[in-house]
Amino acid sequence: MRRFALIIVPYLWLVALFLVPFIIVLKISLSDYAVSIPPYTPLLDFSAGWEGLKRFFSQLDFDNFLFLTTDDLYWKAYLSSLKIAVVATFLTLLVGFPIAYGMAKAEESWRPMLLMLVILPFWTSFLIRVYSWMGILSQDGYLNQLLLAVGLISEPLRILNTNTAVYIGIVYTYLPFMVLPIYATLEKLDGSLLEAAEDLGCSRTSAFWLVTIPLSIPGIVAGCFLVFIPTIGEFVIPSLLGGSETLMIGKVLWDEFFSNRDWPLASAVAVILLLILVIPIVLFQRNEQKQREAEG
Amino acid sequence: MKTEIAALVAATLAATAATADEVRVYNWSDYIDEELLTKFEEETGIDLIYDVFDSNEVLETKMLAGGSGYDVVVPTGSFLQRQIEAGAFQPLDFAQLPNAENLWDVIKERTDKYDPGNQYSINYMWGTTGIGADVGAVTEALGEDAPLDSLALIFDPANMEKLAECGVHFLDAPTEVIPAALKYLGEDPDSKDPEVIAKAEAVLLGVRPYIQKFHSSEYINALANGEICVAFGWSGDILQARDRAAEADNGVEIVYNAPKEGALMWFDQMAIPVDAPNPEAAHTFLNFIMDAQNMAAASNYVYYANGNEASQEFLIEDVIDDTAIYPDEATLENLYTFTPYPPQVQRTVTRLWTKVKSGT
């Protein structure tokens, strides 16, 4: 009984916060546009009884999903979002790993403060932090002023409103999500393993590649997922820092929802996005489980 | 602990339930003299919660979702029309609006197209969509005879290529830009024919490489600071940029021109959502806004013309005598209006807009 209670809590959580919203979105994606409040039909009406339910289900169809295949905009946007998410995740890893490594190697008395420094920026509103990047990256922003003053460039660089600015914004915003899980695995790393490696004639560099990196893989994978998943549907960063060449699915969703007022089609775009994200996550977990079983 | 939770719940309930002395207004950004807001609270004792937006799309989505919690909202005519169709607004109770007699028939005749019989809305401000230019920078790029008052300035690639250096912004609003492109071609700007609209696409793609950004509010500051030299934007916003530049005394001289080929005339209408928590206070707010002196104060501040005839005697000369704000008869003849696209055409237009902006 106690076991059952323990299992039911996470499942209830999942049903309330994931399954129910998903079913609502799925239902809207099968509906049709209408000039009304809310702007789609049919609406679920229990007062009409069984007949009403039957009529309701007969009006649902997959037209919106079919429409998504008729225009290459959607596939291009999905692919472009995937590309941006993959590149940004990789860049975040490049920046985040050395930070996590440095933290884990630091004196124990220093670590709480270093940890605090990573978390501290969260105390300021995300929006304000992205806005301040606009001030840094703009044509006459601080970065250009600095580079001009130092003499590295003679013309101000155009960074704001390009994909470069989007990458900078994503790496900056999601860095803690990468650093924290990697730090957690590195901190737990058994130092005697490295000593053993050196005793057996391994140089420091190869011990790093042969011992530290493989043992930190769980942290790296967790960090990459924490960055990759929100990045793919990111809307705020590309809309503030990106230019018109930045094509991301979040923006396409916005257009369907706000400009076309086509909630059903917007929902269909969202359902597909979810499928794109869920499939690799499930595959990843299967793989993890298999590995664990093989090891056990 | 329990009492704390109870107190918290009670406080939350009190905050969500609209009390008789609270009114929530959702208006465009940079669109009122904020002193008027304080004045309203002092005169009526009603708490005013004032919130802003910068795109009709955001407002419309809130209206269509329902339960926005706002008592007064300010959609533009063509958007208002569709929202009325969707049943988003309640008819106004003119018994509660004695100041409605101040409204100007010239404007009422035109807004009748969007709100038949003017039952659901009153005009707040109206204006034109046109060209703001930094005179110095543009004449440097194009020479003394630069066509500052012509759509050719922004739709002829030969001109735009030279202007790209100093920076051009366009409104991020297809319903403003596409009609103008059609007007430039001599087509009907209000056309709903996809084949005609496709011609606008060709014009826009031709100048697209030279447009730095599509945005509906950044150009005010960008023009005033001299960061850009041309903006296709809303009349009053460009006039605000002109004044900000003059105040900063930074050597930037901004002019606004309604294109000589014809300019889009738009109307921002105040309306009360059908599910407004406090319609009575909403009427009080509308009546306050329609007071001749209050309306004049708003126009004197934001440099937009209003639909209130009685307010005209209180307008400063800078506003009432400026033909960029209150156009003369000849220009008024030359203005056109726009009606909403039907859903399928709207999709084509949004798609076209995405293509123009992102190249996909």
ipTM rounded to 2 decimals? 0.76
Residue B170 three-state SS: strand
What pLDDT does B89 receive? 97
Residue B13 confidence class, pLDDT cut points 50, 70, 90: very low
What pLDDT does B76 receive? 95
Which chain A residues are Cβ-neighbours of B88 within 8 angstroms? 37
Q: How far is B61 from chain A (nearest CA, A)?
A: 6
Q: Which residue has the tokens 């890893």?
A: A93
What pLDDT does B294 receive? 96
Count of CB atoms situated within 10 Å of the CB of B191: 17
- CATH number, domain with residue A152: 1.10.3720.10
Q: What are the φ/ψ torsions at residue B81 (nearest 5 degrees)?
A: -55, -45
Domain residues for A122? Answer: 71-261
Q: For residue A228, which amino acid is it?
A: F
Distance (Å, whole) CA B269 – CA B28: 11
Question: Is the model's pLDDT at B67 over the cut of 80?
Answer: yes
C-beta separation of B248 from B147 below 8 A: no
SS (H, E, C) A257-272: HHHCCCHHHHHHHHHH
Indicate yes or no: CB of A261 within 8 angstroms of CB of B346: yes
Indicate yes or no: CB of A246 within 8 angstroms of CB of B358: yes
Nearest to A257 among B61, B274, B351 (CB): B61
Distance (Å, whole) CA B132 – CA B255: 6
DSSP calls for A211-262: IIHHHHHHHHHHHHHHHHHHHHT--HHHHHH--TT---HHHHHHIIIIIS--
What pLDDT does A177 receive? 95
Q: How far is CA A107 from the centre of its chain?
A: 32
What pLDDT does B11 receive? 46
What pLDDT does B210 receive? 93
Is residue A50 in a domain? Answer: no
Nearest to A258 among B61, B343, B351 (CB): B61
Is residue A294 in a domain? Answer: no
Indicate yes or no: CB of B358 within 8 angstroms of CB of A245: yes
A42: left (phi > 0), else alpha (psi -120 to 50), else beta?
A: beta
Q: Which residue has the tokens 């002019």?
A: B255
Which chain A residues are Cβ-neighbours of B354 within 8 angstroms? 73, 252, 255
Which chain A residues are Cβ-neighbours of B66 within 8 angstroms? 37-38
- pLDDT, one tens digit per residue, over B143-153 is 999 999 999 99
The residues, ordered by sequence, that sit 6+ positions from B291 with a Cβ below 8 Å of its Cβ are B99, B102
Is residue A84 in a domain? Answer: yes
Question: Is the model's pLDDT at B19 over the cut of 70?
Answer: no
Q: Testing the interface with B: which of A31, A72, A244, A257 to mutate, by most B Cβ within 10 A?
A: A244
Distance (Å, whole) CA A191 – CA B22: 64
Is residue A66 in a domain? Answer: no
Least confident of A5-14, A228-237, B28-37, B168-177: A5-14
- pLDDT, one tens digit per residue, over A46-97 is 777 788 888 888 888 888 999 899 888 899 999 999 999 999 999 999 999 9
Count of CB atoms situated within 10 Å of the CB of A240: 17
Distance (Å, whole) CA A239 – CA B316: 39
C-alpha torsion angle, residues A227, A232, A235, A237 (rounded to 10): 40
Q: How far is A26 from chain B (nearest CA, A)?
A: 17
Which chain A residues are Cβ-neighbours of B80 within 8 angstroms? none
Tell me the whole-structure pTM to 2 decimals. Answer: 0.81
What pLDDT does B14 receive? 46
Q: How far is B207 from chain A (nearest CA, A)?
A: 14
- Mean pLDDT, residues B98-111: 95
The size of the A-B interface in CB pairs under 8 A is 70
SS (H, E, C) A182-209: HHHHHHHCCHHHHHHHHHCCCCHHHHHH
What pLDDT does B359 receive? 72
Question: Is the model's pLDDT at B78 over the cut of 70?
Answer: yes
Beta bridge partners of B230: B133, B168
- pLDDT, one tens digit per residue, over A143-201 is 999 999 999 988 888 888 889 999 999 999 999 999 999 999 999 988 899 899 989 98
Beta bridge partners of B233: B130
Is residue A278 in a domain? Answer: no
More confident residue, A103 or A45: A103
- Mean pLDDT, residues A101-124: 93
- pLDDT, one tens digit per residue, over A210-264 is 999 999 998 999 899 899 989 999 999 998 898 777 889 998 898 888 888 889 9
Q: What distances in angstroms separate CA A218 from CA A101, A158, A170, A206, B143, one per listed residue?
A: 14, 38, 22, 20, 64
Distance (Å, whole) CA B180 – CA B160: 16
Query: Judged by CB atoms within 8 Å, which residues 153-212 of A form the interface with B?
Result: 161
C-beta separation of A271 from A26 below 8 A: yes
What is the average pLDDT score of chain B? 91
Nearest to A38 among B65, B347, B354 (CB): B65
- pLDDT, one tens digit per residue, over B186-228 is 999 999 999 999 999 999 999 999 998 888 888 999 999 998 9
Q: How far is CA A134 from the centre of its chain?
A: 21
Distance (Å, whole) CA B229 – CA B133: 6
Distance (Å, whole) CA B77 – CA B113: 8
Nearest CA in chain B to A37: B64
- Whether A266 and chain B come into contact, CB under 8 Å, resolves to no
Q: Which residue has the tokens 């059908």?
A: B274
- What is the rounded radius of gyration, in angstroms, for the C-alpha atoms of chain B? 21
Question: Is the model's pLDDT at B9 over the cut of 80?
Answer: no
- Mean pLDDT, residues A135-142: 88
Distance (Å, whole) CA B131 – CA B232: 5
Residue B333 confidence class, pLDDT cut points 50, 70, 90: confident
What pLDDT does A1 receive? 65
Is residue A37 in a domain? Answer: no
Q: How far is B201 from chain A (nearest CA, A)?
A: 16
C-beta separation of A108 from A280 below 8 A: no
Which chain B residues are Cβ-neighbours of A77 within 8 angstroms? 360
Q: What distances in angstroms separate CA B8 from CA B2, B12, B14, B17, one per listed residue?
A: 10, 6, 10, 14
Q: How far is B337 from chain A (nearest CA, A)?
A: 20
Nearest to A245 among B63, B65, B359 (CB): B359
Distance (Å, whole) CA A36 – CA A56: 17
Count of CB atoms situated within 10 Å of the CB of A81: 24
- Mean pLDDT, residues B38-52: 95
Indicate the angle between helix axes A72-105 and A163-188, nearest 10 degrees: 40
Question: Is the model's pLDDT at B7 over the cut of 80?
Answer: no
Is residue A191 in a domain? Answer: yes
The residues, ordered by sequence, that sit 6+ positions from A289 with a Cβ below 8 Å of its Cβ are none
Pairing of strands B168-170, B213-214: parallel
Residue A296 confidence class, pLDDT cut points 50, 70, 90: low
Q: How far is B214 from chain A (nearest CA, A)?
A: 8
Question: Is the model's pLDDT at A10 over the cut of 50?
Answer: yes
Q: How far is CA B266 from the centre of its chain?
A: 7
Which chain B residues are Cβ-neighbours of A72 within 8 angstroms? 360
Distance (Å, whole) CA B33 – CA B299: 8
List residues of B whose CB lies inside 8 A of any A CB: 55, 57-58, 60-61, 63-66, 82, 85-88, 174, 212-214, 227, 274, 343, 346-347, 350-351, 353-354, 357-360
Which chain B residues are Cβ-neighbours of A245 within 8 angstroms? 358-359
Is residue A49 in a domain? Answer: no
Question: Is the model's pLDDT at B20 over the cut of 70?
Answer: no
What is the average pLDDT score of chain A? 89
Residue B289 confidence class, pLDDT cut points 50, 70, 90: very high
Which chain B residues are Cβ-neighbours of A262 within 8 angstroms? 343, 347
Count of CB atoms situated within 10 Å of the CB of A267: 23
Structure tokens at A19: 């399954």
Number of domains in chain A: 1
The residues, ordered by sequence, that sit 6+ positions from B186 with a Cβ below 8 Å of its Cβ are none
Nearest to B350 among A33, A140, A260 (CB): A260
What pLDDT does B44 receive? 95
